[in-house]
């Protein structure tokens, strides 16, 4: 494939698949608003382009992790409500007002600072917040039992903010054993009831991530927060059971920039961890661990070339990797290699790369998305391919 990215390696982003995944997840929670997670540059898929597609598809909110991510979206002209899913640095509280973001608040101190700032710079307005409650994630959130309930009552009385939502996060919804998740949901429900007894009735309850959307309809409430599933990856491999059809959005491809015939006993790459056992064809592909191809899968990973699998050989370097092409029919320089993606019945998934790497698929797509140029595939929107 010829592309104009100035590199012979790229990530291909199928926005048709993104929209399809959105509608699939939306159909599971038809009565809930969607807070679409586009943090970490949309898990490596480009937050601006994916956000526009998700907004056009109907997403009511976007979710990010940092203030800079909000700035990126606002500068792109996006005015959709954005939820800041992580803690706000206390020195940057005013940015919440300037960016018209919805912060997730986990302490009375942060809520008080925000109220004071809103009173000083937007005295006629009431800033919406999502109040985070700890239910078992062990991360953000007020410990509600005991003094936490008193803190929540004080937050509710602050003059310039409004508790628009109550927020928590499922930590084990992708486990086959549902017991912990059911306990989390039950505890969340009991806290909501306690809040109602304190005359605190947020408009929105939200706890369901991708796995929660797929497995726990009782946790959908007024808003759900899909993340990895939007990008066509199951929250865990055990969830790919045929009940929910997701389509991978990202594939990673490259051209073979050099093919050489080498003799048996030929050393390949740093450290000579691989020697050819026969006369071989060794190809070079121009991407490496700085592009997201994990160095740890050296000698274990594979690619797809001309309709067959071919092994990665030698140590993956910063910008290049080597492939044994000896058994690939008709191979030549500048043939296309699929590092992650499919060709007919052959497929290499983010989960496969993650398993070989000892990590999770989330990290795989995020890392591939950092340096590789992207080619965007559209259906009926714009040209067939656009670079970004």
- Helix or strand (DSSP H, E) at 19: helix 15-28
Closest CA to 166 of 139, 197, 193: 193
Query: Distance between CA 359 and CA 296 in Å, rounded?
Result: 11
Do 348 and 263 form a contact (C-beta atoms < 8 A)? no
DSSP 163-182: EEEEE---SSTTSS--HHHH
Place of tokens 């492939």: 323
3-class SS at 156? helix
Q: Please identify which of the residues 39, 43, 49, 374 carries the catalytic annotation.
A: 39
The domain 250-387 having CATH identifier 2.40.37.10: the answer here is yes
Closest CA to 34 of 58, 66, 1, 16: 58
Tokens of 251: 């594939």
Q: Please identify which of the residues 154, 270, 332, 334 carries the catalytic annotation.
A: 270
pLDDT of residue 384: 35
Tokens of 141: 């959130």
Cα torsion 44, 33, 209, 203: sign: positive
pLDDT of residue 386: 41
Distances in whole angstroms, Cα of residue 335 to Cα of each of 9, 144, 256, 258, 382: 12, 59, 6, 10, 27
Q: Report domain extents, the chain.
A: 15-232, 250-387
pLDDT of residue 2: 52
Burial class (CB in 10 A: 0-12, 13-18, 19+), 372: buried
Do 240 and 327 form a contact (C-beta atoms < 8 A)? no
pLDDT of residue 245: 97
Query: Distance between CA 71 and CA 98 in Å, rounded?
Result: 10
Mean pLDDT by 10 residues, the chain (388 residues): 78 97 98 98 97 98 98 98 95 95 97 96 92 96 93 97 98 97 98 96 98 98 98 96 96 98 98 97 98 98 98 98 98 98 97 98 97 82 39
DSSP state letter for 306: T
3-class SS at 308? strand
Residue 270 appears among annotated catalytic residues: yes
CATH topology of domain 15-232: TIM Barrel (3.20.20)
Closest CA to 361 of 246, 272, 282: 246
Residue 362 appears among annotated catalytic residues: no
| 137-163 per-residue burial string, b: 16 or more CB within 10 A, e: under 16 | beebbbebeeebbebbeebbebebbeb
- Helix or strand (DSSP H, E) at 313: strand 308-313
Query: Distance between CA 357 and CA 124 in Å, rounded?
Result: 53
pLDDT of residue 295: 98
Strand pairing report for 33-37 and 223-224:
parallel
What's the pTM?
0.94
Tokens of 152: 């929540």
Do 63 and 225 form a contact (C-beta atoms < 8 A)? yes
pLDDT of residue 379: 44
């Amino acid at each position: 494939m010829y592309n104009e990215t100035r590199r012979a390696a790229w990530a291909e982003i199928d926005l048709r698949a993104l929209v399809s995944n959105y509608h699939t997840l939306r159909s599971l929670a038809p009565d809930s608003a969607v807070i679409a997670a586009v943090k970490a540059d949309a898990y490596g898929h480009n937050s601006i382009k994916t956000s526009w597609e998700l907004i056009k598809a109907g997403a009511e909110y976007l979710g990010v992790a940092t203030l800079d991510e909000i700035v990126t979206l606002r500068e792109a002209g996006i005015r959709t409500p954005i939820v800041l899913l992580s803690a706000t640095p206390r020195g940057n509280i005013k940015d919440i007002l300037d960016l018209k973001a919805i912060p997730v608040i986990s302490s009375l101190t942060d809520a008080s600072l925000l109220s004071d700032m809103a009173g000083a710079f937007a005295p006629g307005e009431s800033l919406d917040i999502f109040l985070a409650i700890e239910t078992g994630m062990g991360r953000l959130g007020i410990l509600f039992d005991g003094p936490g309930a008193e803190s929540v009552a004080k937050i509710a009385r602050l003059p310039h903010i409004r508790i628009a939502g109550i927020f928590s996060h499922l930590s084990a919804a992708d486990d086959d054993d549902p017991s912990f998740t059911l306990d989390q949901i039950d505890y969340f429900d009991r806290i909501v009831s306690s809040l109602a007894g304190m005359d605190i009735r947020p408009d929105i309850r939200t706890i369901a991530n991708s796995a929660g959307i797929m497995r726990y309809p009782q946790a959908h409430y007024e808003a759900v927060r899909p993340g990895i599933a939007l990008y066509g990856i199951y929250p865990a491999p055990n969830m790919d059971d045929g009940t929910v059809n997701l389509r991978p959005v990202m594939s990673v491809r490259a051209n073979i920039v050099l093919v050489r015939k080498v003799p048996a006993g030929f050393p390949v790459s740093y450290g000579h961890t691989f020697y050819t056992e026969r006369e071989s064809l060794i190809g070079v592909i121009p991407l490496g661990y700085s592009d997201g191809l994990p160095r740890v899968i050296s000698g274990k990973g594979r690619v797809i070339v001309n309709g067959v699998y071919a092994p990665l050989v030698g140590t993956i370097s910063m910008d290049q990797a080597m492939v044994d092409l000896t058994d690939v029919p008709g191979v030549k320089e500048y043939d296309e290699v699929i590092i992650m993606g499919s060709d007919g019945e052959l497929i290499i998934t983010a989960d496969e790369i993650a398993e070989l790497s000892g990590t999770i698929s989330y990290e795989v797509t995020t890392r591939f998305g950092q340096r590789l140029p992207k080619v965007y595939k559209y259906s009926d929107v714009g040209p067939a391919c656009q670079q970004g």
